[in-house]
Structure 1
Amino acid sequence: MRGGVEGLGSPYPIGKFLPSVYQEDDFTQRFTAGLDDVLAPAISTLDCLEHYLDPALTPEDFLPWLAGWLGLELEYQHDLARRRSLLAAAGHLYRKRGTAEGLREHVKLMFGGDVEVEDGTEVTVRTSPSGPAAAEGASVRGGRLLTVRITSTAPVDQAAIERFVAAAKPAHLPHTVEVIAG
């Protein structure tokens, strides 16, 4: 939560913008100086707004707010550097969303370790709706299961990975998650 910052002065003191009759009044200047102390953090925030939108520079307590704008979940993250890198890569990850490569990169950023994703989906080409499958080689990869394999030296919460993969993968694909201690 943002609040007063000790010693932060206002770049726009209210007392200087008052008519001269009030600029000479001691009580009015002290009163407006109190308002300056209250307004200084808000003015500072607005002056530095672009830094609040940069994942590398934003204050740590603003990361969940920024992640909410991007639709990212940071609940799995404990490491500040990993949360910042995930936010920085969000645009790139969304371009690859729904692909095996995108899922691999997203899981690697979220949980670390070496990640393999085996996309066992099958695509069959037919020339008519009721006709036989096209020539040999028309099917791409056999099987029907998405497998996410993580090799990590650090402890990894498999249940958290399961929840994340279930939310990030295409809904029609069943999946398994394998965690291998490295």
Structure 2
Amino acid sequence: MRGTVAGLPSPHPLVELLPALYLEQDFLRRFLSALDDVLAPILLTLDNLPAHLDPRSAPEDLLDWVAQWVAAEPHRDEPVERRRTAVTGAVDRHSRRGTRGGLAEAVRRQTGVEPEIAESGGSGWSATPNTELPGEERPWVTVRLRVAEPEAVDRVGVEELIEGEIPAHIGYELEILPLAAEAPGPAAERPSGEPPSGERPSGEPPSGERP
């Protein structure tokens, strides 16, 4: 505990707990008043414990501690409101982590930009045995951001985010483009089976499935 807080009243003054016989004794009132100054921060914290544990209202020095409970680690240099949002939605995001939608939400939350995501995965069904699997054999994902000032984007921070969101065996590539850049057409898409040239090499997908 940091000690007393000047002017902070106690919600439960000790003098009120005394028998009426002692209420008029000036020494006791002054002595207990000093103890009230010490106990006031503790009592007020306990009275407001739910608010201290809620990421929307927790003091900043407790926010990082609360974040550890839900495996959320927002960067300390991010604005506090963005950090609160990251912790508040962490549990819900964990259920979508590793998916295209989860990656898009994470990038959008950190950058404020809606990303364009292309990836090699696919899904489908067939009543015919040995039907060719959808998607591509080599897993990859490309995250494309279109912003007014590409040089202002923290590329390293976004790459760290992508690496933490996608499965470990997926290769990735981050493209940060100016708003005026045109979206690539079908001919400009990556050839089938060719992974991106990102920092992490692609691994082989598990047998019988593709990401």
- Tell me the TM-score normalised to structure 1 length: 0.80
| Helix, strand or coil at the partner of 1:166 | helix
Q: Which residue of 2 aligns with 1:93?
A: 93
Letter in 1 for 2:130: A
CA contact (8 A) 1:112 1:152 kept: no
Q: How big is the shift at 1:151?
A: 2.4
* Gap regions ≥5 residues in structure 2: 180-211
For 2:6 and 2:46, locate their aligned partners in 1 and report how far apart those are by CA, in whole Å: 18
For 1:153 and 1:66, locate their aligned partners in 2 and report how far apart those are by CA, in whole Å: 35
For 2:74 and 2:2, locate their aligned partners in 1 and report how far apart those are by CA, in whole Å: 21
For 1:181 and 1:4, locate their aligned partners in 2 and report how far apart those are by CA, in whole Å: 53
Q: Among 168, 171, 176, which residue is 1:179 paired with? A: 176
For 1:181 and 1:62, locate their aligned partners in 2 and report how far apart those are by CA, in whole Å: 38
- 1:15 is the counterpart of 2:15: yes
For 1:33 and 1:181, locate their aligned partners in 2 and report how far apart those are by CA, in whole Å: 64
CA 1:44–1:76: 2 relative to 1, 3 Å: closer
CA contact (8 A) 1:76 1:110 kept: no
Q: Which residue of 1 aligns with 2:206?
A: none
For 1:4 and 1:110, locate their aligned partners in 2 and report how far apart those are by CA, in whole Å: 38
For 2:42 and 2:177, locate their aligned partners in 1 and report how far apart those are by CA, in whole Å: 48
Query: Deviations along 1:32-62, whole A, 9 cap, x unmatched?
Result: 2111111111111111122223232223333
Letter in 1 for 2:134: V
CA 1:147–1:59: 2 relative to 1, 3 Å: same
Q: How big is the shift at 1:102?
A: 0.7
User: Greater helix percent: which structure?
Assistant: 1
Q: Which residue of 1 aligns with 2:135?
A: 141
Q: Which residue of 2 aligns with 1:160?
A: 157
CA contact (8 A) 2:143 2:174 kept: yes
Matched residue count = 175
> What's the C-alpha RMSD, in Å, of the aligned pairs?
2.8
Q: How big is the shift at 1:124?
A: 9.9
* Gap regions ≥5 residues in structure 1: 126-132
Moved more, 9-18 or 116-125: 116-125
Q: How big is the shift at 1:79?
A: 2.0
Q: Which residue of 1 aligns with 2:119?
A: 119
Q: In percent, how many aligned pairs have the same letter?
A: 36
Q: Which residue of 2 aligns with 1:128?
A: none
CA 1:52–1:148: 2 relative to 1, 3 Å: same
CA contact (8 A) 1:147 1:178 kept: yes
Query: Deviations along 1:104-150, whole A, 9 cap, x unmatched?
Result: 1012112221212323246799xxxxxxx823xx4222252122222
CA contact (8 A) 1:147 1:175 kept: yes
For 2:124 and 2:171, locate their aligned partners in 1 and report how far apart those are by CA, in whole Å: 18
